[in-house]
Amino acid sequence: MSTPKVLLQEPNNRDTLYAVVEQDERTTYLYIYPSEQFSERYNMRACWLRNLRPAPDTRDYQAMEEGIAPLLEARYCNHPLGREPLVAEHLSIMWSEEDDGAAVFYHGEPFGFIPGWSLSSEQPASYALDCTTPVDNCGLFPLSGEALYERLQKTSAFWEKWSDEDNNPWSGIQQEFLQAYEAHFGNTLQYYAIDQQQWPPMALAKFEKDDIVYFLSLGVSVRPMPWVELLYNEQAPGFRRMELGLAVSKKDYTEMEIMNMAQAVSGMADSPWRNLSWLGEGHTVGSANVPAGYDSFVLSSALYTGPAIDLPQMEGDTVNLYWASPITLAERESAHSKANGGYELLEQMIGNGITHVVRKRKT
């Protein structure tokens, strides 16, 4: 048996996952492999694409026992006698906006798809054009249906509009968010790029009002976060995009302490995609840049007590603005000790009069 040939390999935007199309003399498969740092957290995901020889009538257990890619049974594929091998030059990979799922295209048409939520699910799923009916106990489904094609078309359109360096959506997004922030906090005093010259463009804008310094992010919501689709299903559009806020009293903290906290928030901006995770209400984030006496930050929109900030939608989704508030080690450990502990911590903080504005408190 010959070693499978890699026809195409492409990492995602942060090199956390790799999409690979492999082919031997029997079959062709799409795989998503985690990078080494995530190899203990995520398993490889596979999507059968094509049989190159006649399909068996029963499941190809012999191949699986030998550790090679199995043929798909005849009753599930549209070519029981096998088809010609795929040609590498006609293949391309498209990653999902979340950066955790991938589709393979052949001659510019969708050919196989591993959705991002499958990476985290106990019941993985994949979709193949040459599959005709759902495969029993395998998680392989036909690549068909209006909803699935609309999803792939939307993703394709998303990447197409961002591929034009001179005419992409960033300037419009930047203007809309700054206008929303300036309507509440006055003119932008400073603007810091926090994207490390990587896509997407992200920034922190600085404002000051009534002896409170504000830092508000923009560009983080360009990408939906991983995991959220699996957790929230149809409600995911209300939770998968975020921006971050920090408000600090100048009367309580020095300029250096305030800038340290702002640096911590800027580091959170890329965290969901760098760590294949997500951030939401009540989540805690460890940081070395918290003020003395604190251990980490808790994120919350419920802590905010000011007038409502009308943020623009992003790709039709709600954008949540989470404010970062420092918490002690004991508070963080308490939040992690039980289900919904982050919500309980926020309820306690709100009950003690703590708002989105960071002020000194007894720790």
pLDDT for residue 159:
97
Separation CA 212–CA 252 (nearest Å): 10
pLDDT for residue 295:
96
pLDDT for residue 3:
86
Instruction: Answer yes or no: are the C-beta atoms of 102 and 30 closer than 8 Å.
Output: yes
pLDDT for residue 320:
98
Separation CA 134–CA 158 (nearest Å): 29
Amino acid in the structure at residue 122: E
pLDDT tens-place string over residues 72-86:
999 999 999 999 999
Specify the pairing of strand 212-218 against strand 203-209: antiparallel
Specify the pairing of strand 140-142 against strand 126-128: parallel
Mean pLDDT of all residues in the chain?
A: 96
Please report how many Cα atoms fall inside a 13 Å half-sphere around the Cα of residue 210, on the Cβ side.
Answer: 5
Q: Where are the beta strands (DSSP E) in 35-176?
A: 45-51, 91-95, 102-106, 109-114, 126-128, 140-142
| Beta bridge pairs of residue 243 | 321
For tokens 């995770």, the residue is 277
Separation CA 65–CA 80 (nearest Å): 22
Amino acid in the structure at residue 237: P
pLDDT for residue 1:
59
Counting beta carbons within 10 angstroms of the beta carbon of residue 294, is it exposed (0 to 12), middle (13 to 18) or buried (19 or more)? Answer: buried
pLDDT for residue 137:
82
Amino acid in the structure at residue 149: Y
Amino acid in the structure at residue 204: L
What 3 state SS string does 92-124 have? Answer: EEEECCCCCCEEEEECCEEEEEECCHHHHCCCC
DSSP-derived letter for residue 70 is: P
Q: For residue 108, is it left (φ>0), alpha (ψ between -120 and 50) or beta?
A: left
| Beta bridge pairs of residue 344 | none
pLDDT for residue 292:
92
pLDDT tens-place string over residues 159-188:
999 998 888 999 999 999 999 999 999 999
Separation CA 216–CA 262 (nearest Å): 9
Average pLDDT per block of 10 residues along the chain, 363 residues long: 89 98 97 96 96 95 91 96 97 98 98 95 93 92 95 96 91 98 98 96 98 98 97 96 98 97 97 97 96 96 96 97 97 94 96 96 74
Name the phi and psi angles at 177, rounded to 5: -70, -40
Q: Give me 84's structure tokens.
A: 């010609």
167 CB contacts (<8 Å, ≥6 apart)?
Answer: none
